[in-house]
Structure 1
Amino acid sequence: MSDVGDRNGGNDLVRFEGVTKRFDVAKPALDAITGAVRGGEITGLVGPDGAGKTTLIRLMTGLMLPESGTVQVLGFDTRKDPAAIQAGIGYMPQRFGLYEDLSVQENLDLYADLRGLPRHERAATFDELLAFTDLKRFTSRLAGKLSGGMKQKLGLACALLKKPKLLLLDEPGVGVDPISRRDLWKMVENLTEEGIGVVWSTAYLEEAEACDRVFLLSEGKLLFSGEPKDLTARAAGRVFRVSGIPGRRRQMLTKLLDEDGVVDGVIQGDAIRLVTVKDRETRFSAAGDAEVTAAEPRFEDAFIDMLGGGPGGRSRLAETQRSFTVEGEKPVIEARALTKRFGDFTAADNITFDIPRGQIFGLLGPNGAGKSTTFKMLCGLLKPTNGEGRIAGFDLRRDTAEARNRLGYMAQKFSLYGDLSVSQNLQFFAGVYGLHGAHKRERVDLMTSIFDFRSRQSMSAKVLPLGLKQRLALACAVMHEPEVLFLDEPTSGVDPITRREFWTHINGLVEKGVTVLVTTHFMDEAEYCDRISLIYRGRSIALGSPDELKARVANAENPDPTMEDAFIALIQASEEERMAA
């Protein structure tokens, strides 16, 4: 690759100078940004929804041209030599871009034809990539039947059919469990050892922190360019941990976020993590008798601070929610030996737990583990083979309609009507949930106001940015003030600011007595849960609070494990037990 280095200067594979791109006259998608991507490194693109990450990646492919400024890739100008650029890069788009009705092998064959891979090279190339991605056992499986992690591995294999000098990955970890994300990361790290340059766009800030360099974008502007540790250092001395909290930690978080000088705060198990304003002493009056200690800064702390802080602790949605808080009630959600078989395959096996009113319960597990099957049985969307489930005392087999009327459901994939406008979706779901007359108009108007839909009421739902799609889905799910809320990976692919806004609403609803069942691949979201069931190969292998699960895997080498550490360690231990049996 020395010719590329000579042409670009140093080890830069991409150079962009003064790049501006507009889709809207009033607001550029990219605003005069300048930077470079080096060979042998992973460069992270991070920023909130609409920051310009995907636009920048598409400019690097030569499929899109800048309005002003220049983009050079592999020494070629994107305006003059897009074909030369496209021959030397690999590109994996944000959405799964392969053919779901073709098998793994058929997708590889098709992309080999499209990429012009000589036939005499194919057998060896396929063998190498299938071994690299651990897909050899699945060559005959339809791509649409693969788990989220396996789909991403297949996408990566197709992008690598002709070994690129530059690999562009647009949010490859979205919807993928932590184990599969680590597998993908290791694969990409191995590629950089060969000198390949990688651009990795991500909503997972632990991924960004592991990059060699990062570009932080917001509203089309480049706010930071450099090593992640340099950004993290900006939050040094401003991060605190509140522990030993008397009473409900969500209530304390809400009060702390409203204190002057606090720019961000999140729940971490039984504790709270806070970030404060630079050069200002903060007293944390709302902490009361709780213990406040200094904590090591993380990339996420500095990221949120640079973007102006989190959304605060107030939830207008929760303030308008009726209260369900009643002491001494039976569990609101009950799973008793729930089992679901599809032919000879057992997707969920003897799942048992219960959830008291006003708690958040998390279902965690790798892709394909059985958590969504369990989730759908409790929603009444799947009939269990054995066992029983209850919602607010109603049996899901006998009283399906009554049980469903008590819950709000937000699906894993955007499940609203894309061809209907925002306003039409709100009106439709209000009607589905039995609202009518003045009450219906009042609730639709309230959701429109709370979620800031006024200027977008006539937009088709399918063209909304992801963060707004999730807001609309949540608004429709809570339209009828349900006492139970089912959230299936509700913030997958959403940026950290939007995730905080979302969880501000959820925490507020829980304080009103709403009971929440959630599945997620974001381990920081798992920290919000009161209890967690970790599901693997259809069975619950661990049940407890986030802190209890972390304590189970703590050892001398890792005395303070993260939730992700616990997730991976517990699954590895279960697999070792299974192999030994």
Structure 2
Amino acid sequence: MTASSTIVSAQQLFQTFPAESKSMPEIRALDGLNLEIKAGELTALVGPDGAGKTTFLRLVAGLYRATSGQLNVLGFDVSKDPQSVQDRISYMPQRFGLYEDLSVQENLDLYADLHGVPNEIRQQRFERLLKITDLQHFKQRPAGKLSGGMKQKLGLACTLVRSPELLLLDEPSVGVDPLSRRDLWIIIEQLVHEENLSVIISTSYMDEAERCAQVYVMYEGKVLKQGTPAQLREDVRGLTWEAVPPKEMKARILQAKLLENTQYIADAVPKGNSVRFMTTRQNPQLPHAEIPEGITVQAREPDMEDAFMLLLHERQNGGQRYSADNLGLNGQLTEENKPLAPSSEPAISVKELVRKFGDFTAVASTSFDVQRGEIFGLLGPNGAGKTTTFRVLCGLLPASSGTLQVAGLNLRHARAEARAHIGYVSQKFALYSNLTVLDNLKFFGGAYGLSGKRLKSQIDKALLQFDLKPNAISGDLPGGYKQRLSMAAALLHEPEIIFLDEPTSGIDPLARRSFWYTIGELANKGITVIITTHFMEEAEYCDRIAIQDAGKLLALGAPNQVRQQAGMDHASDMNSAFIAIVEQSRESVLKQEQAV
């Protein structure tokens, strides 16, 4: 098969699924999809939750039979001959099935057995896969003892125990840190270049889409736009700007002000001390009269995320997007949503926190304060101690030593009382999947001590604020809506502090934008937000960030201060700063160990 030949061809592809109940319409996952994918290339599928990306990959893999339309994969009609396709491809789904009690080597052996890989080629294949995934020193370690990034790399290795003609990757970097994500992409690009492997990847990261030869932007089961990253970026040239507010104004406040001008502004996101925004196609020129006084604005180069966001904003109700009104946070200072009274006392104070599990130190002598109404980001690689720190601060785990105060209460003596002042959204969806949205909110509202009219009022507000349907089954919600429901449940009792543990993992950029707008509004009301994330661009929304690794605090400060610590200027991306700080620390530790 030549590099220019078509490896996947879809024509008028439809895929429908039965409705949740007889009274509801069927679910149309693909709606006349048309696309052609070339061999020997890295191809990206991007789109919001429910766009049809996973459904399409499963059809290509022969796991579903299309409702109608034509789908040819590697020259085979996949609906008539799925086995011929499955014999020639490898597919890594979002939740790849590693056997956690088995070692790295035993997992590789098992998948080689399942795929019928001949014994004579196994050893050479294993050695290559272990080398490129950097797992050669961990062959005997149980998969369950690996970090999140190492599990993803092992999953990729197991997927590639046979040499496929086509590799399908469904969100392979969800939930892994920037270092692991970088390593994963080095492996993928190496396979494409050295083995001429064809790869189709769905991703929520626009910087990953930038690395692909072709990008397909999907929406509601169709392709909105396709092209090279350069072609898609060029489509928004002349619409992209950067605004710098005066020192006394936070970037997220300027973001909110810009987004009020729906006629002129299509999108706005903070970056350090500035705000990157886009004007609309209808009014592409800079609207000087709409820019708040004292703001400096200049043109900037467009990126892939600009192109993606503009396409989606234009598609959704003619450009209607998240706003204070849409989210039920209209900024009016009523008794119900007025900011909390200012306080000189920190919302959270951590002094010399240590948390050990036997001989293992998960958090080592960490100290920081978080002010009321601050958005504080806790960043770090997988296994850095972020989630452990979270659980200690939430009163879910006791500290081994140190002093912790949350909402003015000492966690050593008043953990239960402190928990009444906080809300918590865990990494994984932790609500009851078989209950409706309404039943979940009733249950958690009751657990927080709400009842009667007060409970009903809070639930009604939450349903409106987060655009949730009360009778929807929680487990059937798309990822973005599951996170909305988790946030709604955590906020029912109007906590002073909310902890968000990787709340946007696995949800698309549009849903992340809306989610962060909500978080900004909460902070503007005086609610303190502590958040972990692997999306380094989300660190830009934070007032301050802390970077942890191996349980130790490596950096603490505003995003631009952290860039400076990494030896970078304010225009550098936070991914690069994060990687530099972690690698500098690890190199220093290694030198110290070698000197002993």
- In structure 2, the partner of 1:220 is 221
Whole-Å Cα distance in 2 between the matches of residues 450 and 533 of structure 1? Answer: 30
Q: Indicate yes or no: 2:545 matched with 1:519.
A: no
- In structure 2, the partner of 1:578 is 589
Whole-Å Cα distance in 2 between the matches of residues 325 and 515 of structure 1? Answer: 10
Q: Indicate yes or no: 2:211 matched with 1:210.
A: yes
Whole-Å Cα distance in 1 between the matches of residues 180 and 72 of structure 2? Answer: 33
What displacement does 1:270 show?
1.4
What displacement does 1:324 show?
4.6
What displacement does 1:122 show?
2.3
Please say if residues 96 and 151 of structure 1, whose CA atoms lie closer than 8 Å, have aligned partners that are also in contact. Answer: no
- In structure 1, the partner of 2:280 is 277
What displacement does 1:559 show?
7.6
Whole-Å Cα distance in 1 between the matches of residues 103 and 188 of structure 2? Answer: 24
Secondary structure of the corresponding residue to residue 200 of structure 2: strand
Unaligned runs of 5+ in 2: 19-24, 314-318
- Please, which of 564, 571, 579 is the counterpart of residue 568 of structure 1? 579
Pair 313,206 (structure 1): closer, same or farther in 2 beyond 3 Å: farther
- In structure 2, the partner of 1:97 is 97
Greater alpha carbon shift after TM alignment, 524-533 vs 126-135 = 126-135
- In structure 1, the partner of 2:267 is 264
Secondary structure of the corresponding residue to residue 444 of structure 1: helix
Please say if residues 242 and 273 of structure 1, whose CA atoms lie closer than 8 Å, have aligned partners that are also in contact. Answer: yes
Pair 284,118 (structure 1): closer, same or farther in 2 beyond 3 Å: farther
Correspondences of 1:103-252 after superposition (within 5 Å): 103-193=103-193, 194-245=195-246, 246-252=248-254
Q: Indicate yes or no: 2:494 matched with 1:489.
A: no
What displacement does 1:317 show?
4.7
- In structure 2, the partner of 1:302 is 307
- In structure 1, the partner of 2:328 is 316
Q: Indicate yes or no: 2:361 matched with 1:346.
A: yes
Whole-Å Cα distance in 1 between the matches of residues 292 and 102 of structure 2? Answer: 57
What displacement does 1:550 show?
1.6
What displacement does 1:311 show?
1.6
Pair 178,284 (structure 1): closer, same or farther in 2 beyond 3 Å: farther
Please say if residues 251 and 272 of structure 2, whose CA atoms lie closer than 8 Å, have aligned partners that are also in contact. Answer: no
Greater alpha carbon shift after TM alignment, 478-487 vs 368-377 = 368-377
Q: Give CA-to-partner distance per residue, 1:424-453, whole Å, 9 cap, x none.
A: 110000001111111011111221222222
TM-score of the two chains, using structure 2 as the length reference: 0.93
Greater alpha carbon shift after TM alignment, 185-194 vs 117-126 = 117-126
Correspondences of 1:7-26 after superposition (within 5 Å): 10-23=4-17
Please say if residues 179 and 579 of structure 2, whose CA atoms lie closer than 8 Å, have aligned partners that are also in contact. Answer: yes
Pair 248,435 (structure 1): closer, same or farther in 2 beyond 3 Å: same
- In structure 1, the partner of 2:493 is 480
Whole-Å Cα distance in 1 between the matches of residues 330 and 551 of structure 2? Answer: 34
- Please, which of 242, 254, 257 is the counterpart of residue 256 of structure 2? 254
Q: Give CA-to-partner distance per residue, 1:168-194, whole Å, 9 cap, x none.
A: 000001001111111111100011112
Whole-Å Cα distance in 2 between the matches of residues 132 and 72 of structure 1? Answer: 31
Q: Indicate yes or no: 2:480 matched with 1:467.
A: yes
Pair 324,334 (structure 1): closer, same or farther in 2 beyond 3 Å: farther
- Please, which of 342, 363, 381 is the counterpart of residue 366 of structure 1? 381
What displacement does 1:553 show?
3.0
What displacement does 1:526 show?
0.7
Q: Give CA-to-partner distance per residue, 1:245-290, whole Å, 9 cap, x none.
A: 3323322221210113101111111111111112523236352112
Secondary structure of the corresponding residue to residue 516 of structure 1: strand
- In structure 2, the partner of 1:78 is 78
- In structure 1, the partner of 2:462 is 447
Please say if residues 49 and 478 of structure 2, whose CA atoms lie closer than 8 Å, have aligned partners that are also in contact. Answer: yes
What displacement does 1:344 show?
1.7
What displacement does 1:554 show?
4.2
Correspondences of 1:480-559 after superposition (within 5 Å): 480-554=493-567
Q: Give CA-to-partner distance per residue, 1:2-51, whole Å, 9 cap, x none.
A: 5xx7xxxx422212122121225555211222222222211000000000
What displacement does 1:209 show?
1.5
What displacement does 1:551 show?
2.5
Greater alpha carbon shift after TM alignment, 563-572 vs 243-252 = 243-252
- In structure 2, the partner of 1:292 is 297
Whole-Å Cα distance in 2 between the matches of residues 63 and 573 of structure 1? Answer: 45
Whole-Å Cα distance in 2 between the matches of residues 222 and 120 of structure 1? Answer: 43
Q: Give CA-to-partner distance per residue, 1:495-554, whole Å, 9 cap, x none.
A: 111111111111001001000110000111110011111001110111111111122334
Pair 433,382 (structure 1): closer, same or farther in 2 beyond 3 Å: same
Please say if residues 394 and 403 of structure 1, whose CA atoms lie closer than 8 Å, have aligned partners that are also in contact. Answer: yes
Q: Give CA-to-partner distance per residue, 1:351-402, whole Å, 9 cap, x none.
A: 1100111111111011111111111111111111111211111011100011
| Counterpart residue identity of residue 330, structure 1 | E
Secondary structure of the corresponding residue to residue 175 of structure 2: coil
Please say if residues 318 and 508 of structure 1, whose CA atoms lie closer than 8 Å, have aligned partners that are also in contact. Answer: no
Unaligned runs of 5+ in 1: none
Whole-Å Cα distance in 2 between the matches of residues 19 and 346 of structure 1? Answer: 53
Whole-Å Cα distance in 2 between the matches of residues 48 and 118 of structure 1? Answer: 41
Please say if residues 366 and 536 of structure 1, whose CA atoms lie closer than 8 Å, have aligned partners that are also in contact. Answer: yes
What displacement does 1:239 show?
1.1
Q: Indicate yes or no: 2:451 matched with 1:436.
A: yes
Secondary structure of the corresponding residue to residue 316 of structure 1: coil
Secondary structure of the corresponding residue to residue 51 of structure 1: coil
Please say if residues 98 and 155 of structure 1, whose CA atoms lie closer than 8 Å, have aligned partners that are also in contact. Answer: yes
What displacement does 1:489 show?
0.2
Greater alpha carbon shift after TM alignment, 490-499 vs 118-127 = 118-127
RMSD over aligned CA atoms reads 1.7
Please say if residues 250 and 511 of structure 1, whose CA atoms lie closer than 8 Å, have aligned partners that are also in contact. Answer: no
Pair 57,579 (structure 1): closer, same or farther in 2 beyond 3 Å: same
Greater alpha carbon shift after TM alignment, 73-82 vs 197-206 = 73-82
Pair 384,187 (structure 1): closer, same or farther in 2 beyond 3 Å: same
Whole-Å Cα distance in 1 between the matches of residues 255 and 172 of structure 2? Answer: 32
